[in-house]
């Protein structure tokens, strides 16, 4: 790992890249995960590598959904674990109802266990993963993607699935759960299918979600429900697309 | 490696991804190379994953530069070798004046040798690389990027540097050589600095360059020089940006 000085204009981007490369070496992320991260980098570059208002709006509603949930679960894949283990643990500390559940696109019991251990090393307890916990199938999905831990997503009313693929996001929506995602591509099937799409970089979005959960801890349930009622995800996606388009212009 | 059927709508994209993952396992590509490939994927997706007229124009001029050159060299990095070894060898067979030279962003004598062997296995002979051939420094660059093999880029009048970083591309331009690049990002420093920028995916562009070299073999030198004279790289880049912008729209 090369040391990246804080003063480097692309310090954050380079540090995230190092976390993923480290994740690959630790057997947490997959090679395909590195390529997927690169796709996100290109989109974040076009978005100006900052959190826009459309993401803030979505984060506000995500916090409302999580605080009103009986059983909120965050689905963790290899990239999410490598990039944001600390931020996930902080989220659970802030809101202990949240369970973390490992689900991988490229099936591997060993990688699931490594991710669970990685999260545990960062302070998470009781991380669920289908290689060691009982699971039920999510209809419409095959192979590894269908596995929902009985005490996790199977029992969840609200699921946060960051950096998720479109099929699984769609199947979760079809199952009647409320689905929140974090995705840098407002045009992706995941972004289009979720109930709440936070178009932002994962490690920028999660601390903001944490802050929002903290500041909403005392907000009345009626106000949270009203915030959800007023929210229009399609509108926020259109705003994100407009910013992305504007990002494609000669500098 | 999973088998990707021809009928899969994203067969080409998935096959390229597999070549890179294989390249990483063979020690030819770097982890950073996988992330860089992902960035390209996102841009190619926005370009509709096809070769546009702005790329065809640039390929025509690239062929003219190569055919008029005394000493044309193609600079090969890990991603280029993993993605396009066969296409590079075909290019040299079509136009034996072309030399292949390995140059890596992340310095590694071992990886240089592996890339040279990889190209040799695909049929290339006399691949140059600074860990085994005498080299001279290219001014304005540090570390590994500055190395130019004496019989390669140091002696070259025309250099094709696909998937190159902006600093090295700029230093080659400043050195007085004619510089051609292949880059999916028309906004990148590389794209903006090169004399000829082919905004296209590498494995689509190289066979087209091959065809162009073949069909221009008998073209008069005056006609090739005239083609270069008429060409406006900034115009083709603006056309590419316009297509990219249009690609960012809800489907």
Query: With contact defined as beta carbons under 8 Å apart, do B158 and B60 qualify?
Result: no
Chain A contact for B40 (CB, 8 A cutoff): yes
Interface test with B, best of A31, A48, A78 (most B CBs within 10 A): A31
Token pair recorded at residue A52: 């826009």
A95/chain B closest Cα distance in angstroms = 33
Cα(B199)–Cα(B54) distance, rounded to whole angstroms?
7
- CB contact under 8 Å between A238 and B244, yes or no, is no
Interface predicted TM-score of the whole assembly (ipTM), two decimals: 0.88
Give the pLDDT of chain A (251 residues) as one tens digit per residue: 455 667 666 778 889 999 999 999 999 999 999 999 999 999 999 999 999 999 999 999 999 999 999 999 999 999 999 999 999 999 999 999 999 999 998 888 999 999 999 999 999 999 999 999 999 999 988 878 899 999 999 999 999 999 999 999 999 999 999 999 999 999 999 999 999 999 999 999 999 999 999 999 999 999 999 999 999 999 999 999 999 999 998 65
- CB contact under 8 Å between A250 and B244, yes or no, is no
Chain A contact for B19 (CB, 8 A cutoff): no
Please tell me the number of Cα atoms within 13 Å of B200 on its side-chain side: 23
Query: With contact defined as beta carbons under 8 Å apart, do A197 and A178 qualify?
Result: no
Query: With contact defined as beta carbons under 8 Å apart, do A146 and A137 qualify?
Result: yes
SS3 B218: coil
- CB contact under 8 Å between B250 and A241, yes or no, is yes
First to last CA, chain A: 31
Query: Other C-beta atoms within 10 Å of A170: how many?
Result: 19
- Spell out the residues 6+ positions from residue A246 whose beta carbon is closer than 8 angstroms to its own: none
Of A192, A143, A131, A144, residue with least CA distance to A166: A192
Chain B contact for A36 (CB, 8 A cutoff): yes
Angstrom CA distances, B170 to B10, B167, B187, stand at: 34, 5, 14
Strand locations in A58-146 (E): 72-76, 99-102, 135-137
- CB contact under 8 Å between A17 and B35, yes or no, is yes
Indicate the residue of B31, B46, B244 with minimum beta-carbon distance to A24: B31
Indicate the residue of B31, B35, B187 with minimum beta-carbon distance to A250: B187
Ramachandran category for residue A162: left, alpha or beta (phi over 0 → left; psi -120 to 50 → alpha): beta
| Residues of chain A found within 8 Å of residue B34, distances taken between Cβ atoms | 31, 34-35, 38
- pLDDT tens digits along B37-53: 999 999 999 999 999 99
Query: With contact defined as beta carbons under 8 Å apart, do A46 and A244 qualify?
Result: yes
Chain B contact for A221 (CB, 8 A cutoff): no
């Amino acid at each position: 790992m090369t040391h990246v000085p804080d003063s480097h204009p692309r310090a954050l981007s380079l540090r995230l890249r190092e976390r993923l490369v480290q994740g690959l070496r630790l057997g947490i992320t997959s090679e395909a995960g590195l390529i997927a991260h690169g796709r996100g980098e290109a989109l974040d570059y076009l978005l100006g590598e900052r959190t826009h208002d459309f993401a803030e709006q979505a984060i506000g509603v995500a916090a409302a959904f999580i605080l009103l949930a009986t059983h909120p679960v965050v689905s963790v894949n290899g990239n999410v674990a490598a990039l944001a283990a600390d931020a996930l643990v902080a989220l659970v500390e802030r809101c202990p109802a949240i369970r973390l559940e490992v689900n991988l696109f490229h099936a591997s019991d060993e990688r699931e266990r490594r991710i669970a251990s990685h999260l545990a090393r960062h302070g998470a307890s009781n991380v669920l993963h289908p290689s060691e916990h009982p699971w039920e199938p999510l209809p419409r999905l095959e192979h590894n993607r269908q596995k929902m831990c009985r005490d996790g997503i199977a029992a969840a009313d609200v699921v946060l699935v960051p950096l998720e693929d479109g099929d699984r996001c769609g199947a979760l929506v079809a199952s009647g759960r409320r689905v929140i995602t974090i995705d840098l591509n407002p045009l992706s099937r995941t972004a289009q299918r979720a109930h709440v799409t936070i178009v932002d970089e994962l490690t920028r979005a999660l601390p903001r979600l944490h802050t929002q959960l903290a500041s909403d801890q005392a907000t009345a349930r009626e106000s949270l429900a009203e915030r959800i009622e007023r929210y229009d995800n399609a509108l926020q996606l259109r705003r994100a697309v407009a910013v992305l388009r504007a990002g494609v212009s000669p500098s």
